[in-house]
Amino acid sequence: MIVAQQKPINDIAQMINDCKKVLFVGCAGCVTVCLAGGEKETEVMASAMRIKRTLENNPLEAITYTCTRQCDPEYIASLDNVVKDVDAIVSLACGVGVQYLAERFKDKWVVPALDTKFIGGSTVHGVWEEKCGLCGECILHRTGGICPIIRCSKSILNGPCGGSQYGKCEVNKDIDCAWQLIYDRMKALGKLDKLMEIQPPKDWSKSRDGGPRKAIREDVMIDE
């Protein structure tokens, strides 16, 4: 999932300081799971913002709506009637959701309530870790299911580097050395010989180095 975290409440307040009526839009997708922008968080933020503005003698009418997803046009279409008389829209989705709202509601001031951090998953309730760097050509079959692109601080393909110490990364002793993990797992699987194959430089044109990416599936496209 996409993992995001809420911006400081005062930073969000600043963005909508001169607005009288604001729509807070939650997303029932990834940000609900990482507890940053689901229905509950959206209600809490709207409530906190109303209290803050009342205390400042600048009352705010805050309304809320939570979309099934903000990253699909059909799910934000239901906002068409809701946005009509609002001065601003605060999106509690990832950066994708914010952009979908900004694109659809061209005359509205759309602002982000979250900082979109990474894609990953939870380890225990309340802790999320980055797991994939969206490189565009997955190599997990060569690395025992452990991603060196994002979990190795240097993204090296033929690791470990000289900074690997007692299983930890030299960048920070709280970070596991991904290449130590890869080595241990490949050893347990009896596949150490695969690690002897030298990986050639990665084709980064499949990642962000080729500009913004697009995925197309002709077979599922609906003809007009």
Q: What is the rounded distance in angstroms from the CA atom of residue 24 to the CA atom of residue 42?
A: 6
> Which of another protein, ligand SF4, none is residue 30 near (CB under 5 to 8 Å by kind)?
ligand SF4
Q: What is the rounded distance in angstroms from the CA atom of residue 117 to the CA atom of residue 121?
A: 12
Residue 208 tokens, joined? 């962000």
- Residue 52 engages another protein in binding (rule: CB under 8 A): yes
- Residue 54 engages another protein in binding (rule: CB under 8 A): yes
Q: What is the rounded distance in angstroms from the CA atom of residue 169 to the CA atom of residue 154?
A: 10
Q: What is the rounded distance in angstroms from the CA atom of residue 26 to the CA atom of residue 97?
A: 9
Q: Which amino acid is at 177?
A: C
User: Segment 25-44, which members bind another protein (CB under 8 A)?
Assistant: 40, 43-44
Q: What is the rounded distance in angstroms from the CA atom of residue 208 to the CA atom of residue 57?
A: 46
Smaller CB distance to ligand SF4: residue 31 or 182?
Answer: 31
Considering Cα of 78, then 80, then 81, then 83, what sign does the dihedral take? positive
Q: How far is the CB of 70 from another protein (least distance, A)?
A: 21
- Residue 222 engages another protein in binding (rule: CB under 8 A): no
Q: Which one of 44, 63, 132, 161 is in contact with ligand SF4 (CB under 6 A)?
A: 132
Kindly write out the interface string for residues 88-107 of this chain, putting x where it contacts ligand SF4 by CB under 6 A and - elsewhere.
-----xx-xx----------
> Which of ligand SF4, another protein, none is residue 133 near (CB under 5 to 8 Å by kind)?
ligand SF4
* Residue of minimal Cβ distance to ligand SF4: 29
User: Segment 28-87, which members bind ligand SF4 (CB under 6 A)?
Assistant: 29-31, 69-71
Residue 187 DSSP label: H
Q: Which one of 17, 56, 138, 187 is in contact with another protein (CB under 8 A)?
A: 56
Q: Which of 25, 52, 56, 60 is nearest to 41 (CA)?
A: 25
Smaller CB distance to another protein: residue 8 or 200?
Answer: 8
DSSP code string of 75-96:
HHGGGTTTSTT-SEEEE-S-HH
Q: Which one of 14, 59, 103, 138 is in contact with ligand SF4 (CB under 6 A)?
A: 138
Tell me which residues touch another protein (CB under 8 A).
8-10, 40, 43-44, 47-52, 54-56
